[in-house]
Amino acid sequence: GENVEQHPSTLSVQEGDSAVIKCTYSDSASNYFPWYKQELGKGPQLIIDIRSNVGEKKDQRIAVTLNKTAKHFSLHITETQPEDSAVYFCAAGGTALIFGKGTTLSVSS
């Protein structure tokens, strides 16, 4: 079945630095790649998504890139702020939506 690998599992950056989280997937039929942010004590919330006919998508400080040939996609957060601290999940959607194991991002001021 589909497998989604996410790295790193933890990431610590200084405020203002950039953060990059990478995911790989196994099912070549996947064509929807969302990223969710989970703050402490809350459910995951969609922050950005990309579909397979697009290579890159930006929304203010957040960007996602997709390489379908290599089956990997990445989340880029620029100018990180303390409120970016959270757990981030990537997912790949094909016959089912499969989540990565999550990355705990800590932004220190």
Partner 1 sequence: EAQVTQNPRYLITVTGKKLTVTCSQNMNHEYMSWYRQDPGLGLRQIYYSMNVEVTDKGDVPEGYKVSRKEKRNFPLILESPSPNQTSLYFCASSLGSGSFNEQYFGPGTRLTVT
Residue 14 binds partner 1 (CB under 8 A): no
- Determine which residue in the list 42, 70, 83, 109 makes contact with partner 1, applying CB under 8 A: 42
- Determine which residue in the list 35, 65, 66, 100 makes contact with partner 1, applying CB under 8 A: 100
User: CA-to-CA distance for 58 and 49, rounded, in angstroms?
Assistant: 10
**Total of chain residues touching partner 1, rule CB under 8 A:** 24
Q: What is the 3-state secondary structure (H, E, C) of 6-45?
A: EECCEEEEECCCCEEEEEEECCCCCCEEEEEEECCCCCCE
Closest CA to 99 of 38, 53, 17: 38
Piece of 16-24, 57-65, 67-75, 89-97 that binds partner 1 (CB under 8 A): 89-97
| Phi, psi torsion values for 20, nearest 5 degrees | -130, 130
Task: Name the minimum Å distance from CB 43 to partner 1.
Answer: 3
Q: Which residues are near partner 1 by CB under 8 A?
A: 1, 6, 9, 31-32, 34, 36, 41-46, 49, 89, 93-97, 99-102
